[in-house]
Amino acid sequence: MTEVVLGVSGGIASYKAAELLRLFTESGHSVRVVPTESSLHFVGAATWEALSGKPVQVGVFEHVDEVAHVRIGQAADLVLVAPATANILAKAAHGLADDLLTNTLLTARCPVMFAPAMHTEMWENAATQANVATLRARGHVVLEPAVGRLTGVDTGKGRLPAPAEIFRAALSVLEGRVQDLRGRHVVVSAGGTREFLDPVRYLGNRSSGRQGFALAEAAVARGATVTVVAANVSLPAPAGVTVVPVVSTEDLRREMHLAAVDADAVVMAAAPADFRPAEFVDAKIKKTADGTTPEIRLVENPDILVELVAARSSKHPVIVGFAAETGDAHATVIEHARAKLARKGCDLLVVNDVSAGKVFGQDDNEAVLLGADGTVEQVPFGPKSALAHTIWDAVVRRLD
């Protein structure tokens, strides 16, 4: 049975840690809650003792004979601090040890993960950012906070990611994923763009964003800092990623260029619309009395992937494209894909056979990974998360 230490520090979001705790216990993990003194203003020790079925201790001078300040960290398979306040991040970054949680962080030899929650100003403060960078450089996983409603009337970055999302990220870390994307910034596009004809109608496509989000989640588990530019995705965002929502291909293009400036890897998993209406009509297009139907003239959208390859920074990011193909009378799926890889100029092309409605909106996927260096890797039918990890494996081999 895996031993999880759930550190709870003093933020209003600490009540959400109760749900997180249940997700662990109900899936057979043993959880020991180690709250900080200030967190007890929000959720009392009795709650943690009842939900975890274990005693709760805050300081290091109770039950001294058990040497809890050393034992708990030593025995843990994962130490997860959720919510992590600016204060606990600062203490952890500087190695302070003035309560049981900070002692546990110092003695843990297992993976350590923080799910920060605080006001936007505190998160963006240079001191907090420096502490986060220090913790990440040491190999700890620090999730990006989510964006949304904060305490009071404020809205912004700093919300605790949803307990289910933190749980998923924690499971990936527990699976022993190598932190081979640590210190790397990866940018993933997801979803499908919409091109508006008038204020209510658009041309769109069936991309759900599942594969892009699976890539983002897998990259977080491998230690990367992840930006997802998400076009009309209605799925919950994976914990710890920065999501930039966009609508049209032009929005996606702008945000991808911005995010790619300092990226180590860029994955174009989104399905941008290839065409957009030549003009946008300001008012809703009405039916006419004589029954004539409107003609829609289309113009071609820029190819973002080709542009990203051309604009590659001196960091020389690894650039990955996707190709959803069907074979036809002229060529097979792979022949079309090879031609596309050459045309796009990217390093890797993930080829999906979408004949007969496969892939779109489903959880499983199969693919072939074509490398610009001639490599061909067949990825068997399986969850999109497995394909995501295979793609990152191929990216990691090409970094540096």
Q: Any idea which residues carry the catalytic annotation? A: 205
Nearer to ligand CTP, 164 or 339 (CB): 339
**Pick 8 or 320: Cβ nearer ligand CTP:** 320
- CB 206, min distance to ligand CTP, A: 12
Report the alpha-carbon distance of residue 224 to residue 240 in Å, rounded.
Answer: 10
**Least Cβ distance, residue 18 to ligand CTP (angstroms):** 40
For ligand CTP, the closer of residues 104 and 207 by Cβ is 207
Helix (H, G, I), strand (E, B) or coil at 52: helix
Query: Shortest Cβ distance from residue 199 to ligand CTP (Å)?
Result: 24
Pick between residue 162 and residue 305 the one whose CB is nearest to ligand CTP. Answer: 305
> Which residues are CB-neighbours of 395 under 8 A, at least 6 positions away?
186, 265, 267, 318, 320, 348
In angstroms, rounded to a whole number, what is the distance separating the alpha carbons of residues 6 and 81? 6
**Strands in the chain per DSSP E:** 3-8, 30-35, 78-84, 112-116, 141-142, 146-149, 155-159, 185-191, 195-196, 202-203, 225-231, 242-246, 265-268, 275-277, 298-300, 318-325, 348-353, 364-371, 376-383
Name the DSSP letter for residue 270. Answer: S
Q: Shortest gap between Cβ of 320 and ligand CTP (angstroms)?
A: 8
The nearest distance, CB 196 to ligand CTP, in angstroms, is: 16
* Cα gap 390→377, rounded to integer Å: 9
Question: Minimum distance from CB of 222 to ligand CTP (Å)?
Answer: 21
Q: What is d(CA 48, CA 50) in angstroms, rounded to the nearest whole number?
A: 5
Distances (CA, A) of 384 to 183, 238, 354, 359, 391: 24, 14, 15, 9, 10
Q: What is the Cα–Cα distance from 36 to 40, expressed in whole angstroms?
A: 7
Cβ neighbours of residue 99 closer than 8 Å, sequence gap 6 or more: 36, 37, 58, 59, 60
Phi, psi angle pair for 229, to nearest 5°: -95, 110
Structural contact between residues 127 and 90, judged by C-beta atoms closer than 8 angstroms: yes
d(CA 89, CA 372): 42
The Cα 202–Cα 248 span in angstroms is 10
Which residue lies nearer to ligand CTP by CB, 115 or 337?
A: 337
Rank residues 45 and 372 by Cβ distance to ligand CTP and give the closer one.
Answer: 372
Residue ranges that bind ligand CTP, judged by CB under 6 A: 249, 268, 270, 272, 274, 301, 303-305, 321-324
DSSP secondary structure letter of residue 153: T
Distance between first and last Cα of the chain? 38
The C-alpha atoms of residue 292 and residue 94 are separated, in whole angstroms, by: 72
For ligand CTP, give the closer residue by CB, 48 or 322: 322
User: Measured from the CB atom, is 76 or 268 closer to ligand CTP?
Assistant: 268
Give the three-class secondary structure for 250: helix
Instruction: Give the containing element (helix H, strand E) for 87.
Output: helix 86-94
